[in-house]
Homo-oligomer: A and B are copies of this chain.
Amino acid sequence: MSSKKKIPFSEFHKNKVFDFGKCSLNEKQIIAYAKQWDPLPFHLSKEGGQKSVFGGLIASGPQIFHEIHKNHWLPLFGHTVICGIGVNNWIFIKPIYVDNLIHSRITILDIKLSKAKKTGKISWLYEFLDKNGEPFQSLEMTILHSMA
């Protein structure tokens, strides 16, 4: 599933996987994000990256989550959000370089329903994978949703 059509709560099921397709972050995007939120040398310029252990410009850790959350997750699920509850197990496994192909996949790990309150507490697994299916990073985000 990669449409941007809102998905109703009734279609949220444990273990359901949403494939957000492939994307990449270009040099301009990586540097713009870094200037705003994470101005470390290896996020700010090619030269800074080359002098670091990474040997090249890499994206700030949280950037790919924010990009995918805004451009893919929110258009589908945002209309049901009551509030955020937490983020867990966000692991930065390997760096994301300029123009790396990034495959984003989201899975519903768990749903706790409160029928009285008409809410569902959902744990969403975000996975960002490379072209071989190996993870760049993953995280679990817990959100309180409205069933209405």
B139 touches A69 (CB 8 A): no
Q: Is the CB of B70 within 8 A of A139?
A: no
Number of copies: 2
Interface residues of A, count at CB 8 A: 28
* In the complex, chain B residues whose CB is within 8 Å of the CB of A139: 87
In the assembled complex, the CB of A118 is this many whole angstroms from the nearest CB of chain B, namely 12
Alpha-carbon separation in the docked complex, A78 to B131 (Å): 31
Q: Hey, which chain B residues are within 8 Å of A23, CB to CB? A: none
A84 in contact (CB, < 8 A): yes
Q: Which residues of B contact A55 (CB under 8 A)?
A: none
User: Residues on A close to B: CB < 8 A?
Assistant: 36-40, 53-54, 61-62, 66, 69-70, 74, 78, 81-92, 95, 139
